[in-house]
Amino acid sequence: MNEERSQDLLAVDNLRVCFHTRNGTTVAVDDMSFRLQPGQVLGIVGESGSGKSVACHSLLGLIPSPPGKVEAGSARLKGEDLLRMSEKQLRNVRGNRIGMIFQDPMTSLNPYMKVGAQLVEPLRRHRAASAKEARAKAIAALGEVGIKNPEQRIDDYPHQFSGGMRQRVMIAMALMTEPEILIADEPTTALDVTVQAQILQLIKKIQASHGMAVIFITHDLAVAADMADHMLVMEKGVVVEQGPPEQIFKGHQHPYTKKLIDAIPTSSKPPSGAPRKLEQLVQVNHLRTSFSVDRHTQVHAVNDITLDVRRGEILGLVGESGSGKSTLGRSIIRLIESQSGEVLIDGVDLYQLGTNKLKRARRDFQMIFQDPYASLNPRMTVFDTLAEPLLIHGIAKRDTLTEQINQLMDDVGLDRTSARKYPHEFSGGQRQRIAIARALAPRPKLIIADEPVSALDVTIQAQILKLLLKLTEKHDLTMLFISHDLSVVRYIADRVAVMQQGQLVELASTETLFQQPQHPYTQALLSAIPRVEL
Amino acid sequence: MQRITEQTATEPVLEEGSSLTRDAMHRLFKNRLALVSAGFLLLLILVALLTPWIAPYAYQDQNLLLGASSPSAQHWLGTDTLGRDQLTRILYGTRVSLMVGFVATAVALGIGVLWGATAGYLGGRVDNAMMRIVDVLYALPFAIFIILLTVIFGSSMLLLFLAIGAVEWLTMARIVRGQVLTIKRQEYIEAAIAMGLSRWRIIRRHVIPNAVGPIIVYTTLTIPSVILLESFLSFLGLGIQPPQSSWGSLISDGVENMENYPWMLIFPALTLSVTLFALNFLGDGLRDALDPRASKD
């Protein structure tokens, strides 16, 4: 492993990174070794906390230190060890010989600087280019990443670009100095699926035309398989498997890789044994919700939507960001007030109920939120969190409370003994289980689940999806499952509704929708999903 | 980060979760300076409570023959121009100053938290109206306000508490409102609404507990500022009237006799400064301890 091959662009050997905190030492990356050849795309895959980002950031001295510390190893960029470089030497590498793209294009550009000024910065700094030269180069780079009218757009501020466009600007910025290596840290995670497909295409094209080496960090196996020539699978700071994608997928030996691959929702929902009822639970008629942006402009987030949710079914609601799917979910249960239309739940129009009646009616429809870190009150124990809905709606008496809470915790697969703990003591997946238990507590008829698995790692996601399926069956629940992720929806939903710009473009049974999408937008969405060919 | 818990094999026992409060206490105990400050303040409170029994003299006892004498075996911290024991007067002053500090802060806390939380949570027009009232009160010149009150009602301790509290709650209300505005947008509040909770219950159970960190910290910073305010008023002759003493009135006396009898200034000033330092250190310590970013994950 240690013999140096002359064609290695980057040779990392036995890298070990630790974080020393007051709660002890965490080994973030342990004994990591890999080679990167010029023009190669290396995919690093792992779940959150696997050390994939830390490893790459530590190469450029970008980990917060303290508490982070590179304890051992070497990383030779054409023979020069990055880990032994001074801060000054490293500055000549960063943004010059190694470029970086980050996950969130919304925050990685300075909102107070025109994009042009940000683009020319690395060039002026590293190559001492003249202002005119740099500007010409920046315009060319913007054109190359597919931004129209680069001569004009160069003088725009970041907020004038959409998320996908900003990621293109970030890529243009990384390209300015013609780096030998491009590190892309989850570059498409924050983007919609159609935009993600475009950005992946762009990175591939640029990689080929510049002959750059790319380190592509992602949690998404399908994306990695699509992009990489060579893959590393990381678990808890250790590289458990590496090789070309075919080998990883076909000949996977390591149990963790297998677990990751199995967790990808590929199949559709197993048909349930119970005969499907066609009775409606929810009927939404001509619902309209709009927000005023200012005095003259209104955004119609939900624009004349009519749909029904049948008793006992899981209705998937998909759409890209800004399509109004979350607003629709919240409008149905009056967390956001609609301007017109009606929502009948069991025949009762929610929009005709007074404040007090509505409060009482709320026990019938509950919500599960996307971010389990934000949706639980950090100052209430699990017990208190679950007790609240039970007591408010008079479902439990003081003496039966503990028993009922225990049952809820069993239902969602939480350990009974942890009832007195606070949310911050649980992992993301466990927190989502608490949130699910809270939604189940008042024994609702309808659950609105707004992206309930989007913030979770893929293996956890698979567990939570299974849990949701089990619970809907057991408690005879009806669910509106909102998601941007089509494969997840395919796995869980009986029928799927597709939204685009506030309108419902298609509603069909899951099978029909995935086999024969009718609307062009649905077709575009489906073709953009990165797939693993097995 | 994994929590290490001792497992008992026999029966499942409810694990005691390490609560945020306990975490905060844990961090606070690691902060030496804050801990020493807390100890000092506790001692001070104890002394203030026990003053009538431990003070060597009565606070109004004069010994005109003695006059202003420097520290001695009989009078550890010397006497003032009327021959009153300085230590005794400082001890009684501590009672007054601490009482002003705590009572006026409690007044400010009570009004400020309720006002700020209500304005922040209800938002819209109510918020606007409530905060404009705060702005108007902010604009009133404080000294004139107090002078007016003392002229009308005469100077009394109670009035002093109320007057100071009435001024200090404004900042508290602003801080709480800001906190509540942030908390209101959190998903757990939306979850509480979706659950069918009443507004009042949401404010009480979900909003205020989450704003409590900054409130505690600001409280420890309000106490010294209130004590300073009382000192300032007594210094102007508007606060505590002789023969009663407070730190402010003692310092004011001390300043008059600073050249001839420096101990009359040094000792009360020293007590005040050390107390203020202690309160500030404790406030800093609490702020760090309650910072959610310092939580275990």
The answer to whether residue B195 neighbours chain A at the CB level (below 8 Å) is: yes
The answer to whether residue A295 neighbours chain B at the CB level (below 8 Å) is: no
Cβ neighbours of A415 in B, within 8 Å:
12
How far is the alpha carbon of A127 from chain B, nearest alpha carbon, in Å? Answer: 40
Cross-chain residue pair A381–B186, CB shorter than 8 Å: no
Cross-chain residue pair A388–B190, CB shorter than 8 Å: no
The answer to whether residue A442 neighbours chain B at the CB level (below 8 Å) is: yes
Please state, in angstroms and rounded to a whole number, the distance separating the CA atoms of residues A110 and A119: 11
Classify residue B99 by burial, with Cβ atoms within 10 Å: 0-12, 13-18, 19+. Answer: middle
The count of residues in chain B is 297
pLDDT of residue A1: 42
Q: Is the pLDDT of residue B167 over 50?
A: yes
Other C-beta atoms closer than 10 Å to the C-beta of A248 total 26
Cross-chain residue pair B13–A442, CB shorter than 8 Å: no
Other C-beta atoms closer than 10 Å to the C-beta of A184 total 28
pLDDT of residue B6: 37
Q: Is the pLDDT of residue B14 over 50?
A: no
The answer to whether residue A432 neighbours chain B at the CB level (below 8 Å) is: no
pLDDT of residue A314: 92
SS3 of A416-439: HHHHHCCHHHCCHHHHHHHHHHHH
Please state, in angstroms and rounded to a whole number, the distance separating the CA atoms of residues A497 and A480: 10
- Chain B contact probe: residue of A366, A375, A402 with most B CBs at under 10 A: A375
The answer to whether residue A360 neighbours chain B at the CB level (below 8 Å) is: yes
Cβ neighbours of A438 in B, within 8 Å:
191, 195
Please state, in angstroms and rounded to a whole number, the distance separating the CA atoms of residues A75 and A90: 12
Cross-chain residue pair B196–A392, CB shorter than 8 Å: yes
Q: What is the pLDDT of residues B28-72, one digit of tens each?
A: 777 888 889 889 989 988 988 888 787 777 766 666 666 667 777
Looking at residue A362, what DSSP letter applies?
Answer: G
Cross-chain residue pair A392–B190, CB shorter than 8 Å: no
Q: What is the pLDDT of residues A172-218, one digit of tens each?
A: 888 888 888 999 888 887 778 888 888 888 888 888 888 889 999 98
The answer to whether residue A443 neighbours chain B at the CB level (below 8 Å) is: no
CB A152 within 8 A of CB A142: no
What is the separation, in whole angstroms, between the first and last Cα of chain B?
A: 6
The answer to whether residue B295 neighbours chain A at the CB level (below 8 Å) is: yes
Identity of the residue in A359, A380, A425 whose CB atom sits nearest the CB atom of B198: A359
Instruction: Provide CB contacts within 8 A for A434, sequence distance 6+.
Output: A372, A376, A382, A385, A386, A412, A414, A423, A426
- Radius of gyration, alpha carbons of chain B: 24
Identity of the residue in B1, B193, B209 whose CB atom sits nearest the CB atom of A379: B209
Q: What is the pLDDT of residues B177-196, one digit of tens each?
A: 998 998 888 888 988 988 88
Cβ neighbours of B15 in A, within 8 Å:
417-418, 420-421
Please state, in angstroms and rounded to a whole number, the distance separating the CA atoms of residues A247 and B14: 47
The answer to whether residue B6 neighbours chain A at the CB level (below 8 Å) is: no
Q: What is the pLDDT of residues B124-166, one digit of tens each?
A: 888 999 999 999 888 888 778 777 877 787 767 777 777 788 7
Q: How many CB pairs under 8 A join A and B?
A: 103
Strand-pair category, A298-310 with A280-292: antiparallel
Cβ neighbours of A437 in B, within 8 Å:
none
DSSP secondary structure string, A176-238? TT--SEEEEESTTTTS-HHHHHHHHHHHHHHHHHHT-EEEEEES-HHHHHHH-SEEEEEETTE
pLDDT of residue A482: 94
Instruction: Provide CB contacts within 8 A for A108, sequence distance 6+.
Output: A102, A170
Please state, in angstroms and rounded to a whole number, the distance separating the CA atoms of residues B115 and B176: 8
How far is the alpha carbon of A394 from chain B, nearest alpha carbon, in Å? Answer: 12
CB A490 within 8 A of CB A522: no
> Which pLDDT band holds residue B216 (cuts at 50, 70, 90)?
confident
Q: Give me the residues of A, 14-33, that contact B with CB < 8 A.
A: 23-24, 26
Cross-chain residue pair A374–B198, CB shorter than 8 Å: no
The answer to whether residue A501 neighbours chain B at the CB level (below 8 Å) is: no
CB burial of B116-150 (b: ≥16 within 10 Å; e: otherwise) equals bbbbbbeeeeebeebbeebeeeeeeebeeebeebb
The answer to whether residue A166 neighbours chain B at the CB level (below 8 Å) is: no
Please state, in angstroms and rounded to a whole number, the distance separating the CA atoms of residues A296 and B250: 64
Per-residue pLDDT of chain A (534 residues; tens, 9 = 90+): 444 455 788 888 888 988 887 767 888 888 888 888 888 899 998 888 788 888 888 888 888 877 888 888 888 888 888 888 888 888 888 888 888 888 777 777 888 888 888 888 888 877 777 888 888 888 988 888 888 888 888 888 888 888 788 888 888 888 888 888 999 888 887 778 888 888 888 888 888 888 889 999 988 888 888 888 899 899 888 888 888 888 888 876 788 888 888 887 766 665 554 555 678 889 999 999 988 877 777 888 888 999 999 988 999 999 888 888 989 999 999 998 899 999 999 888 989 988 889 988 998 999 999 888 888 988 888 898 999 999 888 888 878 888 999 999 998 988 888 888 888 878 888 999 999 999 999 999 999 999 898 888 888 888 899 999 999 988 889 999 999 888 889 889 999 999 998 899 999 988 888 888 999 999 988 888 877 654
User: Can you tell me whether residue A287 is helix, strand or coil?
Assistant: strand
Q: What's the CA dihedral at A392, A398, A399, A404 to 10 degrees?
A: 30
pLDDT of residue B4: 39
Identity of the residue in B15, B186, B296 whose CB atom sits nearest the CB atom of A418: B15
Residue of A nearest to B212 (CA): A379
pLDDT of residue A156: 87
Cross-chain residue pair B210–A361, CB shorter than 8 Å: no
Looking at residue B72, what DSSP letter applies?
Answer: -
Cross-chain residue pair A425–B3, CB shorter than 8 Å: yes
CB burial of A440-466 (b: ≥16 within 10 Å; e: otherwise) equals bbbebbbbbbbbbbebbbbebbbbbbe
Cross-chain residue pair A381–B19, CB shorter than 8 Å: yes
Residue with tokens 């102007």: B236
pLDDT of residue A277: 61
How far is the alpha carbon of A374 from chain B, nearest alpha carbon, in Å? Answer: 5
How far is the alpha carbon of A236 from chain B, nearest alpha carbon, in Å? Answer: 12
Cross-chain residue pair B191–A333, CB shorter than 8 Å: no
The answer to whether residue A377 neighbours chain B at the CB level (below 8 Å) is: yes
Average pLDDT over every residue of B269-273: 87
Identity of the residue in B1, B3, B195 whose CB atom sits nearest the CB atom of A392: B195
Please report how many Cα atoms fall inside a 13 Å half-sphere around the Cα of residue A31, on the Cβ side.
5
Q: In this predicted complex, what is the ipTM?
A: 0.75
How far is the alpha carbon of B113 from chain A, nearest alpha carbon, in Å? Answer: 18
Higher pLDDT, A31 or B27: A31
Q: What is the pLDDT of residues B90-128, one digit of tens each?
A: 888 888 888 888 888 888 888 898 899 889 888 888 899
Identity of the residue in B12, B18, B196 whose CB atom sits nearest the CB atom of A416: B12
User: Can you tell me whether residue A329 is helix, strand or coil?
Assistant: helix
Please state, in angstroms and rounded to a whole number, the distance separating the CA atoms of residues A213 and A41: 6
Question: Would you state the structure tokens that stand for residue A390, as one six-digit string?
Answer: 């039970």
Residue of A nearest to B211 (CA): A379
Q: Which helix (H) or strand (E) holds A70?
A: strand A68-77
Identity of the residue in A333, A371, A420 whose CB atom sits nearest the CB atom of B15: A420
Q: What are phi and psi of B73, to 5 degrees?
A: -65, -35
Cross-chain residue pair B196–A363, CB shorter than 8 Å: yes
Cross-chain residue pair B20–A333, CB shorter than 8 Å: no
Cross-chain residue pair B196–A361, CB shorter than 8 Å: yes
Cβ neighbours of A480 in B, within 8 Å:
none
Please state, in angstroms and rounded to a whole number, the distance separating the CA atoms of residues B295 and B297: 6
- Chain B contact probe: residue of A379, A420, A421 with most B CBs at under 10 A: A379
Determine the number of helices (DSSP H) and then strands (DSSP E) in chain B.
Answer: 11, 0
Residue B73, CA distances (Å) to A98, A211, B120, B271 in order: 76, 90, 58, 20
Please state, in angstroms and rounded to a whole number, the distance separating the CA atoms of residues A470 and A477: 10
Residue of A nearest to B12 (CA): A417
Nearest of A456, A439, A249, A273 to residue A362 by alpha carbon: A439
How far is the alpha carbon of A452 from chain B, nearest alpha carbon, in Å? Answer: 13
